[in-house]
Chains A and B, each alone.
Chain A
């Protein structure tokens, strides 16, 4: 008797599961049936471009180059990032060895680190007394 009840119970559970699975299949088939009539078309929407506005760019021509370094004064500008002083020193040595007729002037940025920290007075000095500049932004 017990075994018959167990068999009936298993059959019942199987039936319920079967109905449930068939239900899911029907749902899936319903979707695919819809797809069979043509691809599901998602509605198109219009959205806004999130970008801000960059400033207009005015092209600045570069300054004319030098014909020679002989007899010229080159400013070595250390913008103040750590290690740049050493880099400038070894570069200055190279210029002194390879371009002995070039005058090297080394300037340290006392105001901080970075190009923006360089003083107007220094730019004026380079403009008045220098022929070219090498600006060091090493880190």
Chain B
């Protein structure tokens, strides 16, 4: 802003001073031109008057003895001249005895037509005292006197040109005088010398007398003076121009430019102020948005923290494995899942609040705490659902509703009691029947619609290795950019593959997630996506990192009921892995190792997979990275160690390692 102002100022100053110099130069040229014109005019006039003087002198010399003839001569001389003037011939005192002491014949033009001629010499008009008369004796040529007041002819200030008249002996006997009225100069010259409206001029004689007197200058006002000398008369002409007059136009333009510039600067300043305010507002609103985003992020984190993060094994219940995820479309979502174990029972639910974002997330939080508080003293699924509905209806001021599925699984018996309130039916994967189909659910109303609705519960007996897959419609309605939906068919197909291939709830959910992401191919997620998988399984084996616990492995394998011929090799493979964990995963401290077994059945082709999962939370270690031992070496060359992982690879059909959060997860698969 300041820089812009200074730049403009610099430009305008440069322009101003350049223009000033140009104007001064122009004024000087103009003044000089006008001065020359004026000089010419004066010269022409003076030559005319001088010629008249000379002519009259010649005539007077011819008639030097005849005083009366001079009357006609002066009269004629006045008549021949353009300008009104007076002409006189004054003789030396007592030249004509009969005419008295003073004899001066003078002719003056009175009007256009009449000329007044008379003798004006007298005691009271003693011309001999006058300068012009005396000049006649001093200068033998035309000579202009200093200005004086003509008291005889025109009675105005005049300058006079004198020329001597000689007698036969060459003595000066008379002087011819031709007047030039100063009024003439004052009338005639402004035509040339008024260069500006308020400029003025002066003419001074060679002796400094004012022929045309300059106007008084005003103190403090600056003037520019241009002058010229008139050769014929020795006069000085001066043109005096007030500086403010000379630069009036420039100053006016300068003022206009200045005002415009000021307006420009003010506008610029206003724009700057405005834009800085806008920027400030932008910064503020950005900061506000940032804060809101941060808050939403925190809210999202809180919401995620509400969901169970620690997955089984549970302390007492070793035969359920649960895994769930919520992927909100926005920072916070309206989907929820929850599970926990109490009295050998797994309480779980999955739900979808109508709407998205913050309002939905609040309902979600409320639902989750209702679920926890009601199930803490009520183990009847229908009753729990009814109480939740009532509480929800009472607090539901926003006409929101919620679809919810509640399950209570008795881990000792595998009996599942469930109640569905308008939610998508979970998918039941029953290994023994090799069937994947939706759980039969009653068409209850969603929560929040009708406070008095009587919910009905259902039951199902689960067998080991059965899986329940629960989801919200964010899964089946996930859209790719062409608006094609992921759909149930794709979901079922994916479940069949992943259950058989992988088995663990976490792997089933993660594989489904990956499958959906591949399907939508980067299209924006429009709805919250929640999935939960629950496997009812043979109780897992938990061991401390104590070698002495190894024998329990054999008992556990016997209890799973693997084919007899596989018992020993499986035992060996598991022992090798477990030993490794016990010896190396927890250096210097105690830790656990968890062994799980899932049976996966496929009828296309008919096959059974035994999937063993060994989990520890020790230091990261991938046993599959261990180099293969060379079994062809001789006993001398064979290293003592390294046999364990080799045996595991030999016995098992698949060996894979994953580091999941802070856990080592090794999966061993044996196809039966």
* A and B associate: no
List residues of chain A with CB under 8 Å of any chain B CB: none
